[in-house]
Amino acid sequence: MFSVPQRADAVLEVNLNAVQANFQTVSAMVGPHVRIAAVVKNDAYGLGIVEITRALVAAGCDLFFVGTLQEAVVLRSSKIGAAVAVFYDEFTRLKKYYQSSLIIPVVNNRSELDTISGAGEEQTYFLNVETGFSRSGLTFDEVRKIYLSGTFKRHPPAVVLSHLACSDRVADAMNALQRNRFQAISDLLKPARCSLAASAGIWLGKAFHFDIVRVGSALYGLNNAGIQPNPLQPVVKLQAKILDIRNVSKGEAVGYGATFRTVRNSRIAILGIGYKHGLPRASGNKISVRVAGYLAPLVGRMSMECTAVDVTDVPEAVCVPAVSVELLGENFTPNDLAAAAHAYAPEVLMRLAAGCTRRYLHEPSAPQSVKN
């Protein structure tokens, strides 16, 4: 029996220094009196929960939100001592795991709150309240009834939080409506700390910051609110190797459906990246890559494992098989790719991270690790 070396045609490089820099940028924006919690759910948007969290701890972050209890346990097992809260994983059924690992549950309904009440005063929890997202959390009427029962006096939440539905649209009236609803609940409960804004909500102003902002996509360089000039550093660089160079005569079709035909005798490079790696199929005929600094357009519909690029105008000396070309970087970001493909930037990032080989860059050292 023998093992075959793994081929890494498509590589997503993650710059941990850029993640730290984005954390510091957000910190400067909200000021010293607002705590920054990092959202590292779903494997830190696919970029690696342990690697990202360790970089953020080194940058000064001391509170993390994850999606599931399993992710929280991974952080605990990695000896990360910061506070960890779980957005969605029922405390009612899994209470003993939360308590044994000192993990904070986010309470999303009355049943979970009743379990908290039965767990004793020592159980720290965060309370999620519904202000207009209609996804999870207690409504104002539920909060008021529970408040009148004395439950919150006996077992107060450490943090009350909610989530904005339209924070990426600064002028949307929904933002003010949700803030007013959140403020009403906060005035009633008077919790130790409040948290309303996530990444895009930071740019809505200090009235939305409260005590804690929960930052996810912005840490990973995603400018979902479209703020210009963009204050965030790009975190990922996507590269793919040239597998082959083909000479294609004028008028010939390239790819499925013959959506592209050459208008001259052309050189077509075949890249080792396709939609199986997470590259949006809709980006065919819409974006360009960089080959040694030269722009070259994607042509035709991409395949599962490969994509065609017109390199006719790229010098042959720098465009040969095994050379890596850049699809994402400082000049073309996941937000740009998402816009070209009419997709959502966090989804694009997560699909690429899942489909490509990940490498970590932390200056001044070389890339640190490889993970599929």
Residue with tokens 């820099």: 21
Distances (CA, A) of 164 to 31, 175, 182, 322: 21, 7, 10, 46
Contact call for residues 69 and 97 (beta carbons, < 8 A):
yes
pTM: 0.92
Per the CB < 8 A criterion, the answer to whether 223 and 232 are in contact is yes
Q: Which residue type does 17 have? A: N
pLDDT tens, per residue, the chain with 372 residues: 556 556 678 999 999 999 999 999 999 999 999 999 999 999 999 999 999 999 999 999 999 999 999 999 999 999 998 999 999 877 888 888 898 889 999 999 998 998 888 766 678 999 999 999 988 899 999 999 999 999 999 999 999 999 999 999 999 999 999 999 999 999 999 999 999 999 999 999 999 999 999 999 999 999 999 999 999 999 999 999 999 999 999 999 999 999 999 999 999 999 999 999 999 999 999 999 999 999 999 999 999 999 999 999 999 999 999 999 999 999 999 999 999 999 999 999 999 999 999 999 985 444 444 433
Assess whether the previous peptide bond of 364 is cis (omega < 30° from 0): yes
**Cβ contacts of residue 199 below 8 Å, gap of 6+?**
39, 214, 215, 216, 217, 218, 219, 222, 224, 225
CB 106 within 8 A of CB 135: no
In order of 150, 268, 299, the CA distances from 159 in angstroms are 17, 56, 51
Measured distance CA(350)–CA(205) in Å, rounded = 28
Residues with active-site annotation: 41, 256
What is the C-alpha separation between 256 and 278, in angstroms, rounded?
Answer: 18
pLDDT at position 85, please? 97
End-to-end CA distance of the chain: 23
Between CA 54 and CA 49 the distance in angstroms is: 8
Strand 10-15, strand 236-248: pairing: antiparallel
- The CA-based angle 265-270-273, given to 5 degrees, is 150
| Cβ atoms within 10 Å of 101's Cβ, excluding its own | 14
Determine the pLDDT at residue 2: 58
| Whole-number Å distance between alpha carbons of 86 and 65 | 6
**According to the model, what pLDDT value does residue 123 have?**
85
pLDDT at 372: 38
Q: Buried b vs exposed e over 297-327: b needs ≥16 C-beta within 10 Å?
A: bbbbbbbebbbbbbbbebeeeebeeeebbbb
pLDDT of res. 117:
82
Could you give all domains of the chain from N- to C-terminal order, each with its CATH number?
A: 34-220 (3.20.20.10), 236-371 (2.40.37.10)
> Would you state the pLDDT for residue 126?
97
